[in-house]
Structure 1
Amino acid sequence: MSSGKKIWSTALLATAMLAVTAACGGGESADGEIKLRFSYWGGDARQKMTEAAIAKFEAKNPAIDVEGEVSDFPSYYERLSTQVAGRDAPDVMTLEIRGLREYAERGTLAELASKVDTSDIDGKVLATGAVGGKQYAIPTGVNAFSMVINPALVQSAKATPPDDSSWTWEDFVELSSKVTAGSGGKITGTQLSWNPAYLQIYAAQKGEQLYNGNKIGLSPQTIKDWLAITQNLIKTEGAPAAAKTAELYDAGIEQTLIGTNTGATTMMWSNVLGAAVKASGQNLELLRMPKIEGARTGGMFLQPAMLYTASSGSQHAAEAAKFIDFMINDAEAGQIILSDRGLPANAKVLAAVSAKLPAADLKTMAFVNKVRGELTDPPAAPPKGSSAMEDLLRRYAEEVIFNRMTPDEAAQKFITEANALLAG
């Protein structure tokens, strides 16, 4: 999943998909050159490196012209769904895993099995791009939802960084409150998160899963216990009060507590570590997520940072697959893109680019390698409607921390509303 927070409207997407029977995609120029359209989201830095990779592809394939269509993340899916509704889908589309099933099950995507070389991609990671037994998407790279810590800030507050191989959620709350108290309130222990990946990890520690088919697979008690961590962090001042927490939630990495060196820990996807280090200017480390005492698994998993897909209505299906193959498997493309779309999913490309990776990305790679043997299998593409889950979790969590709803009420109402959403 990306670090962006705004999600596309499920209703808008569903309406768009109903209109789709084909997509125009690219075409041909007057001189017979094949034109491909490639959609993705990102800022100036990503656009610059993507254009450089496209130029390298075009040099190797002079009969193909690739036109990049870049949007900022908040508007990306609205634009894409409008294009699909107008039967004008790009030939190659970038998706997140939470939107994959929505597009695949409505016939928008082409199957890519045997059309793109996937021999150097971990089979379990590759399986995240499959829906209904068909490979509709290829992972660009991987990341893991983890704890990030600023050891210097912890130590300056006269606290001790944890042993992440054995720490519990109670240890996390205690550390957070100690940091706040030990710094005289100048540093806050942690910044709260209600990312679905956090709940998914916690649920796995209890032997449950976030999704069971197109329903929520959690018991109300698990949601209540998960909310209790948030309540305890606020109660012990290990996290900001409710109003400040709500205010911080939409902040970009530069405005977060970890980014401004006013918070000692936070939870985030590992591919954001580089941006966090750049914002803070300090050494940051990745840690395993805390565990429930006695849990048989830590619940952490690898997830595709992004996925490449092709339009089922493209006039140039072979060329679209060839471009995806290049972006995934070509070492020269990897040397340009590096870890911008997660640590490369292709093991050979990752090895080829490792010498060029920034220090923060090397740290991420070392961390992923260290915990790889402990990780659970990557989850399959979630059900339709899951794109709204973070907003839903946030809404009910805020009802609890603002004392407008009890954890019991929030857990029950969340399950009811989420199940209705997932049922479509």
Structure 2
Amino acid sequence: MPAIRRTHTSTSTSTPPSRRRVLASLGALGLGAATAGCGSGQTSAAGTVTLNFQWWGGDDRNVATAKAIELFERRHPKIRVTTSFSGYQAYFQRLATQVAANSGPDVLQMDYYELRAYAADGLVANLDGAEFSGISLGGIPRTYVNGNRLDDKLYAVPTGISTQALFVDPKIWRKAGIGLPKAGWTWDDLLNEVGPALKRAAPGRAALTDFGGYSETFNVWLVQRGKSIYRSDGSLGFTVADLTAFWELTARLRDKGIFTPPNVTASYDGSTDSSPLVRKLSTAEFNITSTATPYFQAYGDVAAVPFPTLSAGAPLGLTAGAGAMCVQQRCAHKREAALFLDFLLNDPAAGGILGVVRGLPPNRSVLNQLGSSLTGGDRVVYEYVAAMEKRFASAPIPPSGSDEDKLEFRRVYEDLLFGKQDVRGAAAKMVEKYRTTVPQG
């Protein structure tokens, strides 16, 4: 699935409630509710501790996680792990209800766009505490660990690596005589050389699927210029002039026929079936790296290349994202929860069972252990991340409700595509929307 859509499986086809309403319900609970009562963990008369672990995901993730838990319980016979899982939307609706009832899991999967809300309201534990000393983070690059810090406190541990890429048809790009661009190719290269060469090599196909409607690509463009959509405190990190300049660039790419035309761009609903690359209407497409395997399944061989940037030595704009897991503040058995998280992160046998069901494992030795056996899209991502990660930038945790801004970004861009707004007017409208989300000083 593309960046604008979740990569998670949903069990419901009904329209979910506004994420901001769910998050507002969390804020109303406050710290008192988070610390009231006891955690869901229990201790039996025989001294066996029970932890509850919840996550979202599809069948491959669920089966692999269950097998890893079986191994953990064999290793730790005095700890039992009960589990539950669902699709993404159902997961967070249920979690909000559980938290409101002073219940819920001890260990939980956490989304990047939800972490700030849960941490700010005291609902998840600070993992820097002494009771979590059993979690070893020495084998995980600091970039991935620090991406889960707020106010210098660690509220989650990374469980899967992802970043941004252009997925390209390597045969067409080589036929065009440009090969696969290396880090440092430029926006001018795309406008003046790469784009026109691809058009000549693949008549009837745009060079790239228009990515102007993705806030993620805008953030790449901003990071290349020393900015980002959000600052570390969640406040807005760009201006109307910045967004205007970005959308003027995408307009130039569209006017030169390098981007897909508006009707094709708007028909892309996030599914593989509607992908212009898969439909052979473009030769390359922006996405997050966790989508490489679906491209292989639906299209065939693809390669991952970095975004164009300002100059050969300029920042690439790529940010390190990582799936995350937290411990609920009210958990009664934090030390046992720490042992469980350490096992999932660092144990080689667990890494072999889990593979890449949550993305590339962040533990370097576990990742290298898996590397030689990876194929297809997983291999492409492994090699891409290995080549790029030393140049990854930090990614501030966004404010609560910012995932809705991603959807609005797409809607406003479509108004721009079809002439309902001019570039500056659309940029001003989108910035005003962002200002309803960010903290107000």
TM, length-normalised to structure 1 = 0.89
Aligned residue number for residue 339 of structure 1: 356
How much has 1:227 moved relative to structure 2?
Answer: 1.2
How much has 1:4 moved relative to structure 2?
Answer: 7.1
Aligned residue number for residue 12 of structure 2: none
**Which of 244, 248, 259 does residue 228 from structure 1 map onto?**
248
Q: Distance in 2 between matches of 1:40 and 1:171?
A: 43
How much has 1:325 moved relative to structure 2?
Answer: 1.0
How much has 1:33 moved relative to structure 2?
Answer: 3.7
Aligned residue number for residue 396 of structure 2: 380
Is 2:155 aligned against 1:136?
yes
The within-5 A match list for 1:5-404 is 5=5, 9-19=19-29, 20-22=33-35, 24-28=39-43, 33-113=48-128, 114=130, 115=132, 116-155=135-174, 158=176, 160-161=178-179, 163-173=181-191, 175-176=194-195, 179-180=198-199, 182-185=201-204, 187-193=205-211, 194-212=213-231, 213-248=233-268, 250-282=269-301, 284-293=302-311, 296-304=314-322, 306-376=323-393, 378-404=394-420
Q: Distance in 1 between matches of 2:82 and 2:117?
A: 25
1:216 aligned counterpart, secondary structure? coil
Question: Residues 195 and 96 of structure 1: is their aligned pair in 2 closer, same or farther, counting only changes over 3 Å?
Answer: farther
Q: Distance in 2 between matches of 1:200 and 1:93?
A: 28
How much has 1:29 moved relative to structure 2?
Answer: 5.9
Q: Distance in 1 between matches of 2:280 and 2:46?
A: 56
Greater Cα shift, 168-177 or 74-83: 168-177
2:293 aligned counterpart, secondary structure? helix
Greater Cα shift, 320-329 or 361-370: 361-370
Check whether the contact 2:53–2:81 (CA below 8 A) recurs between aligned residues.
yes
Q: Distance in 2 between matches of 1:265 and 1:321?
A: 42
Question: Residues 178 and 228 of structure 1: is their aligned pair in 2 closer, same or farther, counting only changes over 3 Å?
Answer: farther
Check whether the contact 1:17–1:85 (CA below 8 A) recurs between aligned residues.
no
Question: Residues 70 and 233 of structure 1: is their aligned pair in 2 closer, same or farther, counting only changes over 3 Å?
Answer: farther
Q: Distance in 1 between matches of 2:19 and 2:384?
A: 35
Letter in 2 for 1:296: A
Question: Residues 177 and 245 of structure 1: is their aligned pair in 2 closer, same or farther, counting only changes over 3 Å?
Answer: farther
TM, length-normalised to structure 2 = 0.86
2:113 aligned counterpart, secondary structure? helix
How much has 1:234 moved relative to structure 2?
Answer: 3.1
Check whether the contact 1:344–1:350 (CA below 8 A) recurs between aligned residues.
yes
How much has 1:17 moved relative to structure 2?
Answer: 3.9
Question: Residues 88 and 59 of structure 1: is their aligned pair in 2 closer, same or farther, counting only changes over 3 Å?
Answer: same
Letter in 2 for 1:303: G
Question: Residues 262 and 240 of structure 1: is their aligned pair in 2 closer, same or farther, counting only changes over 3 Å?
Answer: closer
1:421 aligned counterpart, secondary structure? coil
User: Which deviations, in whole Å up to 9, do the C-alpha atoms of 1:362-413 show, x marking residues without a partner?
Assistant: 332222222233333x223223332323112212211211211111112122
How much has 1:93 moved relative to structure 2?
Answer: 1.0
Check whether the contact 1:205–1:295 (CA below 8 A) recurs between aligned residues.
no
User: Which deviations, in whole Å up to 9, do the C-alpha atoms of 1:9-41 show, x marking residues without a partner?
Assistant: 022122134223347423356766432221211
Aligned residue number for residue 9 of structure 2: none
Q: Distance in 2 between matches of 1:369 and 1:256?
A: 27
How much has 1:150 moved relative to structure 2?
Answer: 0.7
Letter in 2 for 1:60: R
User: Which deviations, in whole Å up to 9, do the C-alpha atoms of 1:110-152 show, x marking residues without a partner?
Assistant: 1212511111111232111111221111011222211111122
Check whether the contact 1:150–1:285 (CA below 8 A) recurs between aligned residues.
yes
Check whether the contact 1:177–1:238 (CA below 8 A) recurs between aligned residues.
yes
1:307 aligned counterpart, secondary structure? strand
1:343 aligned counterpart, secondary structure? coil
